[in-house]
Structure 1
Amino acid sequence: MKLNMDINPLVSVIILTNPFRPAQLTIDCLKSLEKQDYSNFEVIIVDNASPEEEIKKLEIFLKNFKLNNLLIKNSKNWGYAEGNNIGMRKSKGDLICILNNDTECDSNLISECVKVLISKRIYGICCPKIVYYDHPNLIWYGGGKISPFLLLTAIHKGIRRKSNESKYNILKETDYACGTSIFIKREVINKIGLLDKTFFMYYEETDWNYRAKKKKYKVIYVPSTKVYHKIPIHNPLDDFQYFVHCRNRFLFALKNFSLIQIVFFLLTQLFWTLIELFTNFYGRNLNRLKVLSLGIRKGLKLGFRIRKKQLNHVR
C-alpha cells in the first residue's frame, strides 16, 4: 500500500558497515532500498573503519546512487551501538530505521513500518518479519521474548519455523524489536536516549526496547513486510562473540530487571552455566570455559556497577 507522500514523515535509514565483511553486502542492501515504494527517506551509511579498498568500492557505488545519502567514515570500529549512534546524531528524520548491511528488504518495508508507527501514539518501536536470505520460507525473527528464566534472557520467536504459519503473520505487540531492522520514533529517542555503547554489540537493542517499554511505549511486530538476513541457518558464535554474548546478558539483566527478577535470573544462569561447564569440560573445550568464565565475571562487574549508579541516582 502506498501512502500519501505529502504527509509522510521523513525516515532516516542508518546502515552500519561491518569492517570484517565485504562492501558488496552494503551495496546490495542499498540497491534494495532503491526499490522502496516510500520516497521520503534519507540514507546514512556509517563505515566502522573498513579496509581502504572496501571503502573505495562503496564510494564508487555511491557516486551513482539515486537516493539522498551521507557516508560517515569512522577512524575505528565503534561497534554496533555507538556506530549506529553516530549515524543517528547526524539524522534528520522523525522516524529512524536501523538496518543491518547484510540484509535486503521488501519494497514496502519503510511504508508498512511507517504506517504502523504513525497509527497510534503509543506505538514507539516496530520491527518487520525477518527471514533467512538463502531460505526465505524460514523465519529468523518472528517477534521477541524477554524473560529472566531463559538462558539467553532474550530470544527470537519462530526461529526456523515456516514463514507462512498463521501465528507469525499477525500484527501484535512483542517484547523487543530485533536490531537487524528496527524502526523507532525520534520522540522515543528523545525520552530514552540513544543505544547504550557499553554493550558494544548484542543486547543493546534489547536494552533500548526495554527502556522504551518502561516509558509506556509499545513495541510492535509487523509481519506484512520482510527483511532477508544473510546469515547461515546454523551460525555458531566465535570466542569473541561468545564472550560478548555472555557478558551482555548479565549486563542487560542487572541494569534492567527488578530485584526479584534478578534473583530468578541468577538462579537460572547458575543452572545453565553448570550445564555449559559440564558440556565444554566433557568436550575438552577448555578455551570455551575460559571465555564463559570471563564473560560472566565482566558482565557481573559491569552490571553491578551500573546498578549501583542507578540506586545512587534515585537517592
Structure 2
Amino acid sequence: MKRVSIVTVNFNQPLVTEDLLRSLAEVNAYPDLEIIVVDNGSKVNVVPEWQLRYKDIRFIRSEINTGFAGGNNIGIQHATGDYLFLINNDTEVTADLIGKLVAKMESDPKIGMISPKIHYFDQPGMLQYTGYTPMNYFTARNACIGQFEEDRGQYDSLTGITGYAHGAAMMIRREALQKAGVMAENYFLYYEELDWCERIRKAGYEIHVDLSALIYHKESVSVGKRTALKEFFMNRNRILFIRKNADTFTFLVFCCYFLAAVIPRNLFQYVKNKEYDFIPVFLKAITWHFTNKADSNNLGFPLTR
C-alpha cells in the first residue's frame, strides 16, 4: 500500500481548516495516510491548540506568509508519502477520493499529477472543474471545462490527460516531484500550479484528471472574490507565466496582444464599475516586469498579516 501525504495550508482561516480536518477524519478510508497542516503566518498562532486537539496530525508554523507555493513547499519538505496530495484548506473530501486517485496513479506510471472532479461546496452538483484546455501562449488564456454547469456526467468521458491540474486539489507522484522540483515561490499566488504542471510535463510526465473522484471547494475563502491582492497577482503572474514558459517570439506576440487588448479592456472595466482603486494596482502589476527578472523574489506587493 502506497503512503499518501495530505498537505494543506492555513492562513487566517482556522475554522475553515478545522472543517477540512473534520471531513478527513469522517471519511478516512485510506489506510496509510499522513496529514500535514502548514500555518502560513496567520495573525493568531493556533498551532499549539491544534497540536493538543489533533494528535495524529502534523502542524508546522511559518512566522511569515510565504504564499500558496511557499506554504505548500514547506509541507512538501516534511512529507514522507509516495504520493503527495495538496488540497486547499477550503475543501472537503469524499470517502473514496484518495483511493481512487492513488489507483489511477498506480495504473499508469506516466501520470505525474492528477486532480479530481471539483464541485462548488455551497452548490453541490455544480461543477467547478473537470479539466483544463491547453494554454494559448499568444493570449495566456485557457478554459476550465464545465465550470458553473450542472453535473450530469456530461464530461466524465474526459477522464485522462488534461491541460492542467487544479490548484485546489492535486496529487503528485514523488518521482515526478523529484525531477520537476517544487512550485516556484515567486508567483506567491495564482498561476504557480500551471507553471508546475509545465515543468512536470517537461520532466516526462502527463497531467491527468480523474472524474470518478470528487472533492468540494469553497472558492476564494482566503483571498476574497475581488481584492487588490488578487487583482495584482492575477495580472502580474499571467505575464510572468508566459515569460517563464514561452519562447521569445511567442512572448513578444503576447505582449502586443496584452497592450492592444487587455490593458484597454481592463481599464475600461475599472472605470465602468467605479473600481478606481484597481487602476494603479493593475498598472503596478504590469510595470513590475520592467524592473524585475522572471525569477525575481521581489513580490512587488505589500503583504499584511
TM-score, scaled relative to structure 1 = 0.86
Partner SS, residue 77 of structure 2: helix
Distance in 2 between residues matched to 1:183 and 1:166, nearest whole Å: 24
Partners of 2:23 and 2:295 in 1: CA distance: 43
In 2, the alpha carbon distance for the partners of 1:295 and 1:180 equals 24
Q: Is the 8 A contact 2:47 2:60 kept in 1?
A: no
2:281 maps to: 291
23, 27, 36: which one pairs with 2:28? 36
In 1, are the aligned partners of 2:186 and 2:295 still within 8 Å (CA)?
no
1:288 partner amino acid: F
**TM-aligned CA distance change 1:171 to 1:246, over 3 Å:** same
The corresponding residue for 1:18 is 11
Instruction: Name segments (4+ residues, structure 1) moved above 6 Å.
Output: none
Shift of 1:56: 5.2
What SS does the aligned partner of 1:166 have?
coil
| 1:129 Cα deviation after fit | 0.7
Kept after mapping to 2: 8 A contact 1:173/1:218: yes
Find 1:190's aligned residue among 157, 170, 178. Answer: 178
Residue range with higher mean Cα deviation, 54-63 or 77-86: 54-63
Q: CA RMSD in A?
A: 2.1
What is aligned with 2:146? Answer: 158
- Corresponding residue to 1:280 among 267, 270, 290: 270
Structure 1 position 286, deviation (Å): 2.7
**Higher alpha-carbon deviation: 99-108 or 163-172:** 163-172
Kept after mapping to 1: 8 A contact 2:156/2:211:
yes
- For the Cα contact (< 8 Å) 1:127–1:177, is it kept in 2? yes
Q: 1:236 aligns with which of 214, 225, 241?
A: 225
SS in 2 for 1:126: strand
Counterpart CA distance in 1 for 2:269 and 2:109 is 48
Query: Quick one: structure 1 residues 159 and 149, their matched pair in 2 at CA, closer, same or farther if it must change by over 3 Å?
Result: farther
Paired residue for 1:178?
166
Give the secondary-structure state (helix, strand or coil) at the position aligned to 1:156.
coil
2:265, 2:188 → 1: CA distance?
Answer: 27
Q: Aligned with 1:130: secondary structure?
A: strand
Identity of aligned residues (%): 29
When the two structures are aligned, how many residues end up with a matched partner?
291
Structure 1 residue 161: Cα displacement: 1.1
**Residue equivalent to 1:223:** 211
Q: List alignment gaps of at least 5 residues for structure 2.
A: 297-305
| TM-score normalized by the length of structure 2 | 0.88
1:107 Cα deviation after fit: 0.8
Task: Find the partner of 1:70 among 44, 58, 73.
Answer: 58
Deviation string, structure 1 residues 4-35 (Cα, Å, up to 9, x no partner): xxxx211111011022x2x1211111122221
Counterpart residue type for residue 254 of structure 2: F
User: What secondary structure does 1:222 align onto?
Assistant: strand
